[in-house]
């Protein structure tokens, strides 16, 4: 699993140290990762062989020639880069991917690596701060909604109204 958030430095050669916890055989990222521009956000999406297998199976399950399959093939397969770790656990990000995600564009070298269970994302620090605020607001609203549903269920049970 890819867990936690790390702040790391992107050096002048676009090398980035990937956390040791992310470089495991369990997630298929022991020696390399695959990476592509995220479909959902202004960042890079990455993972190990196991995540790649999930994407490949998901794409194969869609009808050949469908717009959705074509879009996912284009985005996940066509935009993907496989990056091997050097002896220090670093990857070298291609310039095009850095430009796509705005990494290092504002003169800052800090990037945020965010673990999301079976994948992780690499963000510019500024974009990550904005996204983090959005996600916290959504999580708070979602938790309040879940709490209200739980309260309704408890009240129904207390009133003797079973399932």
Every domain of the chain and the residues it spans: 5-127
> Above pLDDT 90, what percent of the chain?
80
Please tell me the class of the 5-127 domain: alpha beta
- Check residue 108 and give its pLDDT: 54
Question: CA-to-CA distance for 42 and 58, rounded, in angstroms?
Answer: 22
- Check residue 104 and give its pLDDT: 81
Lowest mean pLDDT among 10-19, 28-37, 72-81, 146-155: 146-155
User: Is pLDDT above 60 for 96?
Assistant: yes
Question: CA-to-CA distance for 23 and 19, rounded, in angstroms?
Answer: 7
Question: CA-to-CA distance for 41 and 102, rounded, in angstroms?
Answer: 12
User: Is pLDDT above 90 for 151?
Assistant: no
User: Is pLDDT above 60 for 163?
Assistant: no
Please answer whether residues 10 and 16 qualify as being in contact, where contact means their C-beta atoms are separated by less than 8 angstroms: yes
């Amino acid at each position: 699993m890819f867990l936690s958030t790390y702040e790391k430095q992107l050096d002048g050669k676009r090398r980035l140290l990937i956390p040791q916890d992310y470089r495991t055989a369990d997630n298929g990222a022991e020696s390399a990762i695959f990476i592509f521009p995220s479909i959902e956000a202004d960042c890079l999406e990455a993972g190990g062989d196991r995540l790649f297998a999930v994407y490949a199976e998901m794409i194969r399950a869609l009808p050949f020639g469908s717009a959705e399959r074509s879009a996912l093939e284009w985005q996940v397969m066509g935009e993907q880069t496989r990056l091997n770790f050097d002896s220090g656990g670093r990857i070298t990000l291609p310039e095009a991917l850095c430009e796509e995600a705005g990494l290092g564009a504002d003169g800052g070298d800090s990037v945020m690596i965010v673990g999301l269970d079976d994948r992780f994302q690499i963000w510019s620090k500024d974009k990550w701060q904005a996204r983090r605020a959005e996600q916290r607001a959504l999580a708070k609203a979602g938790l309040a909604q879940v709490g209200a549903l739980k309260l309704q269920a408890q009240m129904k049970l207390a009133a003797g109204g079973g399932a």
